[in-house]
Amino acid sequence: MRTFLFYTFSFISLSVFGQMQRIEPFLDFGLKFLIGPSMYNSSVFADNTDKYEHKFNSFGFGIGPKLALDLTDNFAIATEGIFVINQQVYLINNDIIGEKQIKSRVIEIPLMLRFNDGSGGYTEGGYTYSKILNVTETIQESIQDASNFYSSDRHGLVLGFGGYLFGSKDFAVSGGMRIRYDLTDIVGIPMEQRTNPEFYALDNAVTNKTNPLSIMFNIELNYDLGFVMARNPCTGRRKMLFVR
């Protein structure tokens, strides 16, 4: 298996390197909009007591810039800085609490490899880091800050795909879908301390870890900045040039 992975990685690296000898890398800038179902909590589906009922109006949305270094016409390294608001709504089946909403405000910074197939389609994937700004829980219209009970830093995996919608030579609009899965438990305190029934996450995560999942549709506005990594004919080194 290791030999197979080594040869696969070597083949991809050589392909990219070979194309870079013929094509000057360039930068493109984009603005991303995301919306879709968010923060699906695996503990809800693992619960056998019918205590929690997931509400499918749990939506999130995000917006932020994207910057990509296009190594070739097909391969790029992309990063983003997305401000995301996720919310998850539950109906807690008892006579005391009723419906509860958990809302988090997050800055997500993914680092991805992106493949453009040449006909407008793209696939991207990689690692993403999230900095949690705050988390609130709303019960019976009473909002309380629950940030101290949740993880302040999260790490996850992201996979996206989509295609070209319309545009011009320097400007293009693409649409697609993004799936994000957290490798980090949403609750930030030790398992043995999760005994406060007033907070959904603490109550339900006593026996179950919770790894949020989001599935979002996205619109991407891309603009070719016109910067290329031009090779110096004398030294062979690359430098940034603005080309139009």
* Phi, psi (deg, nearest 5) at residue 43: -65, -30
First to last CA, the chain: 47
- In terms of Cα–Cα distance, which of 119, 117, 55, 127 is closest to 87? 55
pLDDT digits (tens, 9 = 90+) for 191-203: 666 555 555 555 5
Output the CA angle 72-165-123, nearest 5 degrees. Answer: 45
Under 8 Å between Cβ of 102 and 135: yes
Over its C-alpha atoms, the chain yields an Rg (Å, rounded) of 22
121/68 Cα distance (integer angstroms): 16
Mean pLDDT of 176-205: 70
pLDDT at 58: 80
Percent of the chain with pLDDT over 70: 66
Under 8 Å between Cβ of 62 and 44: no
* Phi, psi (deg, nearest 5) at residue 45: -80, -20
Which residues, at least 6 apart from 219, have a Cβ–Cβ distance to it below 8 Å? 32, 33, 173, 174, 175
Confidence band, pLDDT 50/70/90 cuts, at residue 225: low
34/156 Cα distance (integer angstroms): 17
Other CB atoms within a 10 A radius of the CB of residue 226 amount to 13
pLDDT at 196: 54
The DSSP code for 38 is -
Residue-range domains of the chain with CATH: 25-242 (2.40.160.20)
Under 8 Å between Cβ of 180 and 213: yes
pLDDT digits (tens, 9 = 90+) for 59-112: 889 999 999 988 888 899 999 999 999 888 877 776 566 777 889 999 999 999
